[in-house]
Structure 1
Amino acid sequence: MSSPSRFDRGHTDDLMTFLSASPTPYHAVATAAERLEKAGFRQVSETDAWEGTSGGKYVLRGGAIVAWYVPEGAAAHTPFRIVGAHTDSPNLRVKPRPDTGAHGWRQVAVEIYGGPLMNSWLDRDLGLAGRLSLRDGSTRLVNVDRPLLRVPQLAIHMDRNVTADGLKLDKQRHLQPVWGLGDSVRDGDLIAFLEDEAGLARGEVTGWDLMTHSVEPPAYLGRDRELVAGPRMDNLLSVHAGTAALAAVATSGADLPYIPVLAAFDHEETGSQSDTGADGPLLGGVLERSVFARGGSYEDRARAFAGTVCLSSDTGHAVHPNYAERHDPTHHPRVNGGPILKVNVNNRYATDGSGRAVFAAACEKADIPFQTFVSNNSMPCGTTIGPITAARHGISTVDIGVAILSMHSARELCGADDPHLLANALVAFLQP
């Protein structure tokens, strides 16, 4: 049997294309679905009865996607191999009454989503994108990918102590972007503008989920172009790698002892508690229905889940050259050093010793190095969808990712080799 070709720097080029095409979770899952369709996957509706046929299938729900490939002749109790990720990133999101302004400026009212580095959104050209809900019950994606909004910083002449005391931003007062001039606020202006952008009739939009994004495209950086700067790497880097790995495995013609799965959730940055988040029923429902569609019983479902392993792939922290003391003194992940294994004994990450062995085996098979991340004991540790997945579904889960700098900035930084190293490790995991 053939095996997938090894990913290289071309994968990183493609990652930058993926990032540009995915300013919101809704665009990210649509872009992933389009790529899976080219690999032979087909969308199934959650409201239809599912058939137990082999091949690639996927479910879209809001900003989440679950895709899986059933090998020919797979038994109902066949375990799954899951790559888990999330599609959302911290940003500024439009409020229900978006039209505001003062002192001759027209502004857009925004709410802070997740935990962004707020200063990174200042004095940056921003576009606006998201999902429009229409009067007939359908939805339409919209993406104004050009300079439209800007959050202007106060001039240093009016904040003389900013350098010595640090920048202090009030989330309500200081982060409302401007988008034009006018002495009066006209309710409905922003949505009318977006209706025009989307080619819709006035009054057709009755609901919206809209967010800002930096319009500066991703780019290689450094003397030898060994770095990549771009938006939303946390965590579209993992979504892109998981999509590429699943497509490669599904089209490889190899014998698969497991059913490979990609599960990319929304709302990780705010706790995962939604119908499209990792703490919701989406993944469990899809996996169960896959078992039952192949004629399986609850016993088959239990057997399949017991043998399942999930790699929760999310970005992590590379050692910072200016703040090395913030890291654990014996764990300094470096960019372009290969994917990282995340460990925390207080279960902020789900990795244990047996999970480490699974990931080590995948990296050994792919012939790539990997590193380990552990937080400094004096600093709080972040978390991922890993512990949620393990606890909710009783699935063995391992937390991994790629080490980056400037996490939660409007523009993050990774090594140019790490994206394809991660993708190669995921292929080896999905096709052991």
Structure 2
Amino acid sequence: MQKTEVQHFNQRLIDFLAASPTAFHATQNIARRLSEAGFIALKENDSWSLQKGQGYFVTRNDSSIIAFKYGESPLEQSGIRMFGAHTDSPCLKLKPNAYSVNAGYSQLAVETYGGVLLNTWFDRDLSIAGRVTYKGDSALPASCLVNFDRPIACLPSIAIHLDREANRNKTVNPQKEMLPILMLAEKKPKSWHELLTSQINQQYPALKVESILDFELSLYDTQAPAVVGFKEEFIASARLDNLLSCYVGLEALLQSDSSESCLLVCTDHEEVGSASACGAKGPMLEHFLQRVIPDTELRLRTLDISLMLSADNAHGLHPNYQDKHDSGHGPLLNAGPVIKVNANQRYSTTSETAALFKLLCKQVDVPVQSFVSRSDMECGSTIGPITSAEVGVKTLDIGVPTFAMHSIRELAGAEDAYALSQVATLYFKQVAAPGKLD
């Protein structure tokens, strides 16, 4: 593995992470990269006429995206090489009536999204980003993405002198203690909608915003992603779960050729169960495949020899908490991608799909690890079992090992994302149908 190649890959990954504070921004950035590479944007309410050798993409809710490179080989002979990930990450989202004044400070009421590791949000420099829907010069509402892109809020911890049990028995009440401070209260305070309108005017001077109708806004940490460690062995960033996997899939798709059909799907709402129109439990992927292959029999024949790599981060073996892992299945950072296995189908891996992935890793000289949760601990899940059940495609759950999953700042190995991208690139380029087993 050439170090300069890894470094260049990681810098591009870091740029993507920094530019994607929300699922909306991640989807926009993926779509931009696809457009620059010659992919054609589709609209779901248009009629489609797809041509072989061409790349296409479609978004839903501005937060989920499917990209498809239509290969020259007949679909019923080659199948479709699918790669899935999710665009959302645990965070704090603003409530509709978020703005309030308490004890002389302007604060924001927030709701936890997903399994947030709450303690990590204190004492960070926070900003706000997301989607705003407004009344403009049209009869219908319009939307735009906003990003304050600077530290504008904070969530200070209470001093140890006022909570002597903080280091021994600390719990966090998300309703009472997770209200970020925005600023000192003004004598003639502006409304939150006025502040949002001012931000939109700065970002989009040509837009005419008559009034703010609604918003979907999240707080995020402004500390930039970085390569860290004494020997620069790690990547530290927010939203590694699961924008790292989105980026790996995107890079692999862009490097694929025109012979085999390849698909990247990055959906929203995985962290809260995927049950939405744009989530993996919704019909977005199924609808897309129905339009690409309208004939039911041909579509089912194609799906039978297709494969989905469901990529989501795995729990790395933490040296301070080794007893939280099964002793034989604790993956190490920078020791290669992980195959995730669960007997109760919390992961979709089978012996056959795992074997295919191991063969791909061997061909590009990438080591591979296995993760299984302790038998006495509840296991998380991914879009893998959902996609497999909804679409009926053979699926495998994989990922790179990370520390501090669902923290405001997670940690991954500096070599692992690149290693996974090498495997994914080969997967998209391989000639044999990925799901056709002897």
TM-score (normalised: structure 2): 0.92
User: Aligned partners of 1:32, 1:283: CA distance in 2, in Å?
Assistant: 17
Out of 139, 143, 148, the position equivalent to 1:139 is: 143
TM-score normalised to structure 1 length: 0.93
Distance 1:77 1:270 in 2: 37
Deviation at 1:23, TM superposition (A): 0.3
What residue identity is the alignment partner of 2:203? A
The correspondence for 2:373, drawn from 372, 375, 380, is 375
- How far off its partner does 1:12 sit? 1.1
The answer to whether the aligner puts 1:156 opposite 2:163 as a matched pair is no
CA deviations on 1:36-57 (whole Å, 9 max, x unpaired) are 1222111111011110312100
Query: How many angstroms apart in 1 are the aligned matches of 2:297 and 2:364?
Result: 34
Q: Check whether the contact 1:77–1:301 (CA below 8 A) recurs between aligned residues.
A: no
- 2:337 alignment counterpart: 339
Distance 1:380 1:63 in 2: 29
- Identity, in percent, stands at 38
- Superposed, which structure 2 residues align to 1:10-409 within 5 Å? 10-54=8-52, 55-61=54-60, 62-72=62-72, 74-75=74-75, 78-135=78-135, 136-165=140-169, 167-182=170-185, 187=191, 188-199=193-204, 200-249=207-256, 252=257, 255-256=259-260, 259-292=261-294, 297-409=295-407
Measured in 2, the distance between the counterparts of 1:347 and 1:300 equals 28
C-alpha separation in 2, matches of 1:72 and 1:40: 17
Match of 1:3 in 2: none
**Residues 7, 58 of structure 1: alpha-carbon distance in 2 compared, 3 angstrom cutoff:** farther
Matches of 1:120 and 1:129, distance apart in 2:
19
**How many Å apart are 1:97 and its aligned residue?**
1.0
Q: Is the 8 A contact 2:75 2:302 kept in 1?
A: no
The CA distance in 1 between the partners of 2:131 and 2:427, in whole Å, is: 34
Cα RMSD for the two superposed structures: 1.7
- Residues 81, 428 of structure 2: 8 Å contact kept: yes
* Structure 1 residue 127 displacement after superposition: 0.8
Distance in 2, matches of 1:197 and 1:346, equals 51
CA distance in 1 between partners of 2:317 and 2:245 (Å): 20
Change (3 A) 1:78 1:289: farther
Task: For 1:201 and 1:112, locate their aligned partners in 2 and report how far apart those are by CA, in whole Å.
Answer: 32
AA in 2 matched with 1:208: F
Give how far 1:205 is off.
2.5
> Equivalent residue of 1:162, what SS?
coil
Report the CA distance between 1:194 and its aligned residue: 3.3
How far apart, CA to CA, are the structure 2 residues paired with 1:350 and 1:29?
25
**Matches of 2:357 and 2:127, distance apart in 1:** 38
In structure 1, the partner of 2:435 is none
Please state whether the residue corresponding to 2:251 is helix, strand or coil: helix
Alignment partners' CA distance in 2, 1:172 and 1:73: 55
Contact 1:94 1:109 in 2 (8 A): yes
Alpha-carbon deviation of 1:206? 1.2
2:197 touches 2:211 (CA, 8 Å); kept in 1?
no
Q: Distance in 2 between matches of 1:74 and 1:244?
A: 24
How has the CA–CA distance of structure 1 residues 186 and 371 changed in structure 2, closer, same or farther, with 3 Å as cutoff? Answer: same
The DSSP-based 3-state class of the residue aligned with 1:423 is: helix
Secondary structure of 1:164 counterpart: coil
- Cα drift, residue 231 of structure 1: 0.8
Structure 1 unaligned regions, length at least 5: 1-5
**What are the ranges of 5 or more consecutive residues in structure 2 without an aligned counterpart?**
431-438
Question: Structure 1: how far apart are the matches of 2:194 and 2:184?
Answer: 12
For 1:410-421, what aligned pairs fall within 5 Å after superposition? 410-421=408-419
Q: How many residues align?
A: 417
